[in-house]
Each structure stands twice: as C-alpha cells, then as structure tokens.
Amino acid sequence: MAHSDVDTFFIATPIFYVNDVPHIGHAYTEVAADVLSRWMRQSGIPTWFLTGTDEHGQKIMRTALANGVTPREWADRLVEQSWKPLLKTLNLANDDFIRTTDERHETAVKKFLTLLHDKGYIYQGEYEGFYCVGCEEYKPAADVLEGQGEFEGSKLCSIHSRPVEVLKEENYFFKMSTFQQDLLDLYANQPDFIQPASVRNEIIAFVNRGLEDLSISRSNIDWGIEVPFDADHVTYVWFEALLNYITATGWGTDDEAFASKWPAVQLVGKDIARFHAVIWPAMLMAAGLAPPKKVFAHGWLLVGGEKMSKTNLTGIAPTDITDVFGTDAFRYYFLRAITFGSDGSFSWEDLSARYEAELANGLGNLASRVIAMVNRYREGVVPTMPDASDADQAISRVMSEAVDAANTAMHNFAPHEALAQLWRIVEAVNGYITEQEPWALAKDDGQAARLDAVLYTSLDALRALAVTLSPFMPETTEKLWVGLGADTSLGALQEQIIPDAGHFGVLPAGSAIAELSALFPRIEQDS
C-alpha cells in the first residue's frame, strides 16, 4: 500500500482487562500500535491511536470482593497505579484512553443496545451453557475438556485449564446467526480484512461451521452496564467492551468526529481475534455501520516456551526490562526480534545480545564516531559535500531504497521488516567508514575534499536514521537529532516527513553540530 492510498489512519488496541497488572504481552501490543501510529502521523497522514481499559464483568467483581473493595474502587486503583503509568513507561503517544466505566461509554452503549433492539436484532430467551469466568464467555462444546486428576469429573476451559461453571438463565440474545453470510462476503471481498493468513483461515472455518445467536446479557451480576430496556439485566462484558472503539470515537454524541475517524484498524492478540473479526463486525452491520478497516492479530509472546500469563508465573513486568535497558531498547527489541503476526520467544539473553550488537555497537557507536570526527576534524561544522564518488553514491542509494522499503513494510504491518531495512543503512555506513578511513584522510591535506565527502555522507545518513527510527526510539533519536545540530538547522524531529527521509543531501552544510553522549550506555552485567 503506497503512502498516497491512505487518507487517515485510526488504530485501536484491545482495551485491557483490569483484573491484574500489565505484563510485557500487553506492552508488546501497545508499543506496536504506538510505533505504527507515530510512523503514519510523521508521514503526514491524519492519525488517531486509541487504547484503554475494560472494567466490568464477573472476574473483576470477584477480584474486587477478594480484595475487600468495591469493583469501582478496584478498577480505579489498577488504572491509576498500573495501567496509566504503563503509558509513560513505554512512552506512548496515544490520542485517547477509554475506560468502560466512563460516562461517555455507558451512555453510548445504551444507545447502541436500544438501536439494535428497535431494529429487531435483540430478543429474550433462555440460555444454558458452560461459562468460563477467566475468559468471560460461554464456551462452545469444542472448547471444553474433560477434567483429569484433581479436576476429575469437571469440565475445563481449554484456554485456562480451570473448571467452567454451568449457567442457566434468562438472557437477551443478539441475532448473530443472521450475519453469517454477510461476514463470509466481507472476508471474501476484502481478503486482507483479517491478517495474518493463518488467523484468517481459522476465522473463516469457524464462521462456515455456522453461527449461533449470542447471549448479550446477564441477570445474576450487577457490575456492568444496565440493559436500557430491562433493569434486571446488565450487558455481557464482551458485547459492551467491543463498543469502546466507537464510543471513544464519538458515535452517538459527535457524528462528525466519528465520521472523520472510523473505521479502525483493530490490533489484537490472536486469542481474541474471533471476538473482533466475527462478533464485532456483525454488531456493526446490525447497526448499519461500517465494519473495521482491518483486524490484525499478532502472535503470543512466549517465555520458556509458554504463553505469558500470571497463572504460569511467566508474566514479566515491563519495568523489569525498561529499568535496565531503557524504554527505547524495549520498543526496538520487541518489534525487531519478533516477526509481527507470529509467536515470538522472549529471552533476557537475546535482548542483551541485540542491545549490545545492534544498538550499542551498531547504531550507537556509528553516531558517536561520526560526530566525534566532525568535531575533531571540522571544528563541529557540517562540511560542504563535494562531487560524490561511487562509494558515496552507494550510500545514498542504500538510504533511498531502505527508507522506501521500510515505508512499504510499515504500511503492510511489518515493523520487523522495516527495522531490518533501516539497519541496512547502519551496516552500510559502518562498512563505508571502515573502507574510507577518514582518520587516515585527515592526516593528508590533499585529501581534504575527500574527507568532507565521507563526513558529510555519514552525517546525512545519520539524519535519515534519526527521522525513520524516531517512531521506534523517540528519546534516542531526539538525542541524535540534537547531536547533529538538526534541531536548529532543520527544525523539530517530529516535523520531518518520514517517506522523504531517504533523499540525500538534506543536512545543511555550514550548520553546527553538538556533542553526543553515548546513545546506548553499556549495561553492567551481573556476573
């Protein structure tokens, strides 16, 4: 997808469940959405990035009770002490943060339910089924296992391996089965609606097996949004939570804001892809609204071969990493080391090795060497670029190709590929300096023009790297930008247009550079 094909970009993360504190799996989703939105915003595309918290349902009611507080007090505490601080820890530039306890959300949810009820898509009936509190959903028979050992004789949820509850109650239902063919048509007409392909194939197979109507209310709990046409029922937590993407966007209150932003790219973990690619578009179709633009399901973060979770004690707090390596290295590592859309393994060894090789020795060392040489040999002034040699032109070609390829990769939701492309510039310039030996050129007055060319070419490549890496590593690139003197000669880093960054010869000759402290300080390893 070329730059010109995109007129606006709205990306939403799932809203995170406040029954516990965030781990790096949550942080991975947040960082990916942030980097994609920063890239689009800095490409001149009107961009909106939404995240938030999901605060209703039985699991939160029980957690709050176990902790001796009301559900509202529990939610407030976790949002203020754990989830909002995560935004700062990760340096997220989100445009909005929605809580499902916000009045704007509750009001719009009631409006949506009334609309679907009036259109005949909601009816009352009796439901009996297996309910997993951990998933906050009724489980189809295929997702229920026979218990073994201590759970002998019980039915277990296939995801949590915990007993499910048998519930029988009067509920309201959403006529989801009505939309089976509409959904299949959507998937067929828009082949990239669900990505990656593995998840798309699973969803299509699931819908082809036949859709049942969805139970969307509960009468035995009171922690939720009241059903507007029946005060004895609260809205099923998933049905209500999915609506955050439009309630935060202005649906039902500000039609103009809604029209300017919707539809969204839904970035989700693959375990909740079904809610976002089946239930959610069906709800929107029922209301006469456009489905999301795309549902992109990234893989799981595995630690020691297991999906990260609190119950397995594999949940790692983001600050465990950022306190040691810094926020930018965290952001870089997870988007570089894992193919976006596939499962990926986290290990401290891999993080440490990449920090040293790619960040400290690769980018960091390159920046400090070049800036130190300009200060030493050219009194801190950007030299004028003489006629370019073949070696200089080769660097300018790599810059242009890598930035174009990285831009294409980002529009294809492949940040790992974008970083691999941009690192071609780092490697090419490091190799170029080794071959050109500017320290040797500096000893020969007859080579002054050649030294100018080598220094200028290296500086301009660093400028291109500062611009294109800024969505990934905003703090580090800002330091580099100031070190290049580009903040005074070219203006703010955030104002540089990313797709143009690969043009050669942008850094103005004669402008002053500054000193540069190490971009990626050495990490003291515990022996």
Q: Which of 3, 105, 132, 298 is catalytic?
A: 132
Judge whether 23 counts as a catalytic residue: yes
Answer whether the bond into residue 196 is a cis peptide, omega within 30°. Answer: yes
Among candidate residues 111, 117, 160, 175, the one labeled active-site is 160
CA dist 97 → 40, 294, 316 (Å): 19, 21, 23
Given the residues 56, 105, 110, 135, select the one marked as catalytic: 135
- DSSP alpha helix (H) spans, 135-286: 180-189, 197-208, 237-242, 244-247, 255-261, 273-274, 280-286
Among the listed residues 3, 26, 261, 276, the single catalytic one is: 26
What is the C-alpha separation between 221 and 58, in angstroms, rounded?
7
Residue 84 known to be catalytic: no
Decide: 131 and 164 in contact? Cβ < 8 Å: yes
Beta bridge partners of 132: 137
Residue 307 a catalytic site member: yes
Active site residue 160: yes
Based on DSSP, count helices (H) and strands (E) in the chain, helices before strands. 22, 19
Determine the Cα–Cα distance for residues 41 and 46; give it in Å rounded to an integer. 6
Catalytic residue among 110, 157, 270, 293: 157
Please say if 105 is a catalytic residue: no
Q: Judge whether 34 and 50 are in contact, CB under 8 Å.
A: no
CA distance 484 to 456: 11
**The tokens of 235 are what?**
């809205």
In sequence order, what E strands does 343-485 have? 344-346
- The CB density around residue 208, as the number of other CB atoms within 10 Å, is 12
Rounded distance between C-alpha atoms, residue 321 and residue 316, angstroms: 8
Which among 84, 117, 175, 307 is annotated as catalytic?
307
Whether residue 301 contacts residue 28, with contact meaning beta carbons closer than 8 Å, is answered with yes
Q: Name the residues annotated as catalytic.
A: 23, 26, 132, 135, 157, 160, 307, 310
